[in-house]
Amino acid sequence: MKPHIGTFLSLGSPAVAELAAECGFDWVLIDLEHGCESEAALPNQLRALSDGTLAIVRVSAPHSDLIGRVLDWGAHGIMVPHVNTAAEAEHCVRCAHYPPRGHRGVSRTVRAYGYGMRLPGDHTPPRPVILAQIETVEGVANAEAIAAVEGIDALFIGPADLSFDLRARQSPKSFDECVTGIVSAAHSHGKGSGILVRHADDKEKLKSLGFTWLAMDSDLSLVREGFRKNLETARSW
């Protein structure tokens, strides 16, 4: 399967979101967990994206009202941090789906339905993409069960949180062992697997492991490194 290549958007800028889409990313992750803007900035970022770029929003927590609003505003899917059990994964799926699969509320006037120009009953609503983040020792242990939940599309590794949790709990498992186990769990249930890539040189190794959702760095990191590089160049004159 050809990997979906995306990037994280933390700055909350519609211009940056539009630029990412113009550059041809398959998907972007708009970050409400660690990003610089609140959910009030989300609608304008979603409007800035072209049709060819999937808009995935990382919610700060699996709250039903937040997940519903994100999808009502036109996001194609969600990423949920710190999914540790199959029950938590099932809760996320139910929040994102209408009955009978879930309990998402219906509104006819939201952006997802053209503010009332396209009624929910007139067509089958698109199935939201749901990425469950595996970021803890507990999540790694339950990766098989999480991947088995109907409606979860991919297990997405949070490398910073997972590395921190492994150290904090003095886990005997290495980070690489956890990564291999998560990818294997996802594949065994026909699900995708993803990870945030900070160094472009790692891309080929991660593709060979079977990752199908690769997020290449973030807007904030790219701006930071660009500033630093330019400053170093200027001061070397």
Identity (one letter) of the amino acid at 2? K
φ, ψ (nearest 5 deg) of residue 108: -85, -10
Judged by DSSP in three states, 101 sits in coil
Judging by beta carbons within 10 Å of its beta carbon (0-12, 13-18, 19+), is residue 43 exposed, middle or buried?
middle
CA gap 6, 118 in Å, rounded? 29
Q: Rg of the chain over CA atoms, in angstroms?
A: 18
Q: Which residues are catalytic?
A: 34
Phi first, then psi: give them for residue 159, nearest 5 degrees. Answer: -65, -40
Burial grade of 209 (CB within 10 A; 0-12, 13-18, 19 or more): middle
Give the DSSP letter of residue 184. H
